[in-house]
Amino acid sequence: MRLDPPRLSEDADFIAKLAKESGQRHGDRMTGLILFVIGGGQGAALLLLWLQAIGLVPDGTTISIGAFLVAIAATASVLVYAGRSGELPGRPSTIVGRAMAGIFCGAGMTTGIMAIIFMHAAGRAQDWNMFAYFPIVFCGLQGTAFFAAGMIRRQNLLMGAGAGWLVTAVLLEFLVGRAGYLLVLGLSFLLLFSGPGWVLYKRGQAS
């Protein structure tokens, strides 16, 4: 096999840029803000469902749906703000930025497809308890994405969050059908989304 010198030079340049940018903090502020809002909104909504499940909050579909709608609205608002400010993570201008966007966009698209598959399977079987296993898949995907992002960015915080999501996936498997399932999932959003998000946001502001 012949080695093309120009191609080798391009590859070496790519690797050098990736190594140089990996320790920098491109987009940390807005990425952190988005993670913080998503984690806070979804985590709070899940904890509300847990409180309903154990009887500390009146049970009601309106309350549950309202909590998730507020969380979705907050996420949409911060994404619009990010787009208008030109800091939307999906518009990376660096090699590391493109790698990060690829990781999380890929995880997001896979999550969406898996949600459709689980909903269809649960509907066909007329057993909506099957859908309780979808968040386990979600946690596994988030664990992979966060760990890969941490390796690329050389940030132990993100790798730790990735490990936390993988542990959460294992715990949820043992809690399906119990109220503790909602508690663990809600706390995971707060600790593993909002926690790293807040740290990244503050780091981005400082830089």
- The whole-model pTM stands at 0.79
Query: What angle do the packed helices 156-175 and 134-153 form, to 10 degrees?
Result: 170
Instruction: Tell me how far CA of residue 149 lies from CA of 64, 114, 154, in angstroms.
Output: 32, 21, 8
Report the pLDDT value the prediction gives residue 21, as an integer from 0 to 100.
Answer: 46
Residue with tokens 């740290």: 199
Structure tokens at 163: 């490990």
Low-confidence ranges of the chain (pLDDT < 50): 1, 3, 8, 11-22
Q: Which residues of 83-99 are buried (b: 16+ CB within 10 A; e: fewer)?
A: eeeebbbeebeebbbeb
Task: Report d(CA 64, CA 49) in Å as an integer.
Answer: 7
Task: Report d(CA 32, CA 15) in Å as an integer.
Answer: 26
- DSSP label at residue 89: T
Q: What is the pLDDT of residues 55-82, one digit of tens each?
A: 888 776 676 677 778 777 877 777 676 6
Report the pLDDT value the prediction gives residue 164, as an integer from 0 to 100.
Answer: 97
